[in-house]
Each structure stands twice: as structure tokens, then as C-alpha cells.
Amino acid sequence: MREVEQDKFRRKALPVAEAQAKIMPYAKATDTEMVSLPEAHGRILAKPIDAPHPYPHFRRSGMDGFAIFSSDTTSCHAGQPVHLEVVDEIPAGSVPQVKLKPGQAARIMTGAKVPDEADAVVMFEMTESVLQEGHLHIRLIREIEPGKNITPIGLELSQGDVILEAGRKLTAGEISVLATFGIHRVPVMKRPRIAVFSTGSELLRIDEPLQDGRIRNSNTYLLYSQITEAGGEPFLFEAIEDDLAKAKAQVEAAFENYDVVVTTGGVSVGDYDIMADLVSGDSVDMLFNKVTMRPGSVTTAAVKDGKLLFALSGNPGACFVGFELFVRPAIGRMMGIAQPFLPELTAELARSYRKINNFTRFVRGRLEFREGKLYAIPAELDESGVMITIKDSDALIVIPPSNTGVEAGERVTVLKLPGGFHSF
């Protein structure tokens, strides 16, 4: 037996956290690039952005109405109305033309600049128009407090405030803030370029008809989605057949052009498990080839010329989990995300999980809120080779090693998968 083949069997299993820690030093920051604001959606901000001006930068009316001196309305009531002469009209986008004096009002629209002298805006609905000696007046029968319906300068942000920290993912809220401040070119982290290979002579292309004993290559597309969601840029390659020399050549070529290489399949101890052989060879430095977890115990990571190679299991469930626990955090770290790991929550296990585990199990499942409490419901079918329940899962339920399993009602840690909740 060749030495590399023997190595496949002699594996030292690392706990997940230790394996993650081995990877992170190689998750080197990508370069930065400038993109247009719409293109920045979903990208990671590369530099902190300060407010170049206060917001709002002028005193803004919050209502369609009249800008007035609130002091003119002191003690005003139905039996003692106040009449104010309308001397200006200020649409949004214009500036006041008349310097207001006490006893006067300016007709003003929502979003328009309030005259400096005025200290309140009264809504149209609270006024009545009257003509007095040919001049338009408004009649008020209620006191208006100072500041009413005026948004002060800098209510949201003062000049120089940090608007967004580096490492922040830009989605709707962030994009609208950047637009507000005229930041139309945005410094973002380059998306790590990730080559994806599936291995296995049993794999058919997705456009091929079924053949006996063969299956379509779903992992490549699973990974395409996961990489895209995590912020990376996937590049899909034809599946590699179970031939070590060919696989080695293809994977090595990929390292020339891509930041990370992800493969699936061929990492176990089978006769054709070429990735296991490849990482045991001397062309790459292996970081680990076994993790004390299920599914994905054979998850393997290696480094070539400072770049990461992830050899995930071929079993779809294990490939999925291996990506979420190892590849996602590496992509996140490369883009400067402060916390690139799946967020941890605590939930109550809704159904007993009685499988015996030597290793920590990451069971796909659904989360449900019932009467303010979070429940975790493990998928009925959660075997490593099962693909169908991945689509219904919004979390990985962490089941620690145990001889008895975990009973319904016990508290468990869950790792929230990206995206919404399937129950809602």
C-alpha cells in the first residue's frame, strides 16, 4: 500500500473550533475596489465612512402647513383665535424669500427649508384661511409649541460622525445612507474568487439524462449558491473524474488564478478518494483532514502557496455543513467581516434527538417562535447523504457528543443559517 493511502486511515480529528482556528490565519484580506452605489449592494465596506455634512443640513418642515412664530399662538384658543398674515410660499427645494416677522406666516411644503426666524410649522388641517383687507391670513385656535414639525439640523447625524464602519455588509439601510451623503462611488472589498470542483466519476452534468448508477452533480450548484451568498465569486469547473494526476493538475492550475479552491467528494478512505491522496502529497500543506463533527467528519483543509484549499465531503449534507463552518468564515474574514461565523442562538429542542454521537452533530433544522420562545425542530432526514431537507433548514442544531442524545425540552445551541426563517 502506498504511503499516502495509509495516511488516509491515520487521521487526527480536530474539534471544529480548533480546525477553524487553523484556517483563519490563511484567510488573507482581499484588495479593495471602488464600485458604483447600486453595485455596492451586498458588498463589504472596505473603509469607514464619515458624514461629510450634518443630516439634515437645513431645518426641514415635516408637514405641509405654515411656518410661524410659536410665540404668536400663546394663549390662543377657540374663543381667542389668532390671525397671521401669509407672506411667503416655500415649496420643497426652495429657500424662503421673505424674512418673517411676528404676526406673519409662510406657506411651506413637507421637506422645504423653514425660515430661520420661524420656530414651528402648523399643519394645514389646523388652520383656516381668511381674507382680511385683501390679504390672505390664517386663523389658528390652538397653541403651537416651539419646534413643532421642524426637523433640526443634524437630527440624524452630525458632520464627522462615523456613518458606517469598515467590514459592514451594505444592504438597503446602508445604501440609502450612502446615497444621502452623496457617496456614489463606494470602497468595497474585492470578492474572493473561488474555484469549485466536484470530484467523482459517478457525476453527471445537470443537463445530462439519468444513467444507472450515476447521479447529477448537485454539490457544485449548492456551493455556487453558498459562495455567492457568503460574498465570494464562484467559478465552476467541470467535475473531475477519480484520477489523482488529473485532479492534481486541475487543482494546481486553479491556484494560479483563484484565491481559494473548494472541492467536494473523494476525501474519505475509498479506493478512488483522490482528494485525500492529493492533500497527503507534498504539493500542499495539510491543515487537517478530520474534524470531530458529523456530518462532514472527513472535511479537509490544506494550504498551497498561502492559499486555502477546502476539500469538503461529497455527501451533500456534509458538503453543506462543511461550507458553513469552514469556507464561509474564511470568505468573511478575507473581506474583513468582524464576525464571520454563523451567529449562535439558544433554543429549546422541540423533538428529542436520540442518535448516539461520538462527535458533535450539526443537525439541520427549522426554527420556530411560539409565544415568544424559540424552538429548534430537527429535520426528519438528516443523514449526511440526504440532500432534500437542506432546503427547509434555517439553522444547524448543535448536538454535543452523547450516549443518549438530547431530550425534547432541553436547551440547545443553534447556528443560524443565512436568510429568513422558513416558518414565517
Report the interface residues with ligand MOO, using CB under 6 A. 294-298, 313, 315, 318, 384
Binding mask 366-385 for ligand LQZAQKY5 (x = CB under 6 A): ------------------xx
Nearest approach, Cβ of residue 214 and ligand LQZAQKY5 (Å): 9
Residue placing its CB nearer to ligand LQZAQKY5 in the complex, 73 or 280: 280
Do the beta carbons of residue 36 and residue 184 sit within 8 Å?
A: yes
* Residue labelled with grid coordinates 429568513: 420
* Residue 98 or 388 having the CB closest to ligand LQZAQKY5: 388
Residue by residue, DSSP assigns 214-283 as: -EE--HHHHHHHHHHHHT-EEEE-PPBPS-HHHHHHHHHHHHHH-SEEEEES--SSSTT-HHHHHHHSSS
Q: Smaller CB distance to ligand LQZAQKY5: residue 385 or 400?
A: 385
Work out whether strand 344-349 and strand 307-312 pair parallel, antiparallel, or are unpaired.
unpaired
**From the CB of 393, what's the least distance to ligand LQZAQKY5, in Å?**
17
Instruction: Choose one: 211-219, 363-371, 373-381, 412-420; the region binding ligand LQZAQKY5 (CB under 6 A).
Output: 211-219
Q: Which residues on adjacent β-strands are paired with residue 236?
A: 196
- Least distance to ligand LQZAQKY5, CB of residue 350, Å: 26
Say whether residue 314 binds ligand LQZAQKY5 (CB under 6 A): yes
Q: Please, are residues 227 and 335 in contact by the beta-carbon 8 Å criterion?
A: no
Residue carrying C-alpha cell 448543535: 398
The binder of 267, among ligand MOO, ligand LQZAQKY5, none, by C-beta within 5 to 8 A per type, is ligand LQZAQKY5
Identify the residue among 318, 337, 367, 390 touching ligand LQZAQKY5 (CB under 6 A).
Answer: 318
282-297 burial code (b ≥16 CB/10 A, e <16): eebebbbbbbbbbbbb
Beta bridge partners of 219: none
Which residues form the interface with ligand LQZAQKY5 (CB under 6 A)? 198, 200, 202-203, 215, 217-220, 264-270, 273, 295, 297-298, 313-316, 318, 384-385
